[in-house]
Amino acid sequence: MESNQSKKSVIQTFSHLDQAGKATMVDVSEKIVTRRTATARSIVFLPDEVLTQLIDGDLQTKKGSVFQTAIIAGIMAAKKTGDLIPLCHPLGLDNCKIDIQLNSKNEVIIDCTATITAKTGIEMEALVGASIAALTIYDMCKALSHDIVIKETRLIEKTGGKRDFKRA
Instruction: Tell me if residue 164 is catalytic.
Output: no
C-alpha count within 13 angstroms, C-beta hemisphere, residue 118: 18
Task: Choose the catalytic residue: 58, 99, 139, 147.
Answer: 139
- Residue 101 pairs with which residues in a beta bridge? 109
Torsion (CA) 140, 143, 147, 153 in degrees, nearest 10 = 10
- Residue 113 backbone dihedrals phi, psi, to 5 degrees: -115, 120
Distance in angstroms (rounded) separating the CA atoms of residues 23 and 14: 10
- Cα–Cα distance measured from residue 65 to residue 46, given in angstroms and rounded to the nearest whole number: 16
Q: Which helix (H) or strand (E) holds 40?
A: strand 34-45
DSSP secondary structure letter of residue 104: T
Q: How far is CA 120 from CA 6, 21, 139, in A?
A: 29, 22, 32
Give the residue numbers marked as catalytic: 139
